[in-house]
Amino acid sequence: MVCAGVFVALLIGVARADDQPATQPMAIIGGPAATQPVMPALFMRFVDDGHGGGALQTAHVAFKDSQGREVDLIAAVHIGEKAYYTQLNQDFQKYDAVLYELIKPRDAAPPTLGSGSTSDNPISKFQTFLKTALDLDFQLDDVDYTAPNFVHADLDKETFERLQEERGETFTDLMLKQLVKAMTNPPPQAAGDEPTMKDVVHLMTAPDGERQIKVVIAKQLGDMDTAAMGLDGPGGSVIVTERNKAAMQTLDDTLGKGAKKVAIFYGAAHMPDMASRLEAEGFKPVATGWTVAWDLTIRADQPSAIESLLDNLLNANDADNSGPKDNGN
């Protein structure tokens, strides 16, 4: 499970937060319980609802400086439910500027809504695979990057590849290093954490097999942090550190043009470093909210994984039997 979790976390770009008690509100940005006074150490969490399900949530942290300017760090998970991205699109409208991450060719236009963006990048391919396998949406398809207040705040593709080449950094190397770390120095496990055959049987036969499987993955995502992913080494990395520097430079330019309320919309793995950089520039965290990216409430009326599998096999068999018959003539 550790190795699988490293692959998923590295490819989606997430950070870990400790499980929260079931009483923790699952707040939407702007909702009545959306703020709390303490900034989280990490910007993604799985919240257990105490009934076998829960939610995968991303953080939204507001910072202010002595001039009254506000910069909000809005963490993203790159595959999520359509409602999650719809909510984000609505909230983005209240900002003077939304600084967004996207490694794209220099001067290339941003993706358009529903364009079904594809890429040969292995990260994008894996995210597309997960989107299909988990019946979720892809961020690039649902976020409106053509909004007039959206500002590209990332390295262009050419610069990103040049910096990686100069450092000898490849995505494959990062993954391999973290797989070695996970296998040689796994995190401590509490008694009973190791899955048993009974656990597997329960997973396959419990109601709502689709969400049961998502819960397992969401807990893996909630158990990963940027240190475990190895993206915060002594010299940093291009994939996080250099891109964060580019975002902060764009922020300085945007504030210099008079913007008073700015959002930085980046993957959750970027946010701990981004928060440190904001604080170094005199911004202080004033409130934190959480947005539900995956609703994992178990639905008792939905079929188990084994029931869905058997239904698919029966449907395939019926389709085969209903085809034209060769009568030998």
Cα 29 to its chain centre, rounded Å, is 16
Confidence of residue 307 (pLDDT cuts 50, 70, 90): confident
Is 152 in contact with 100 (CB distance < 8 Å)? Answer: yes
Flag whether pLDDT at 91 surpasses 60. Answer: yes
Confidence of residue 75 (pLDDT cuts 50, 70, 90): very high
Long-range contacts of 191-199 (CB under 8 A, 24+ apart): 195/1
pLDDT at 1: 43
Which residues have C-beta within 8 Å of that of residue 196, sequence separation ≥ 6?
none
Of the listed ranges 178-192, 253-267, 275-289, the one predicted with least confidence: 178-192
Alpha helix (H) residue ranges in 134-225: 139-142, 157-167, 171-184, 197-205, 209-222
Question: CA-CA distance, 270 to 231, in Å (whole number)?
Answer: 9
- pLDDT tens, 178-216? 666 655 655 555 445 566 788 778 778 888 888 888 888
Q: What is the pTM of this model?
A: 0.79
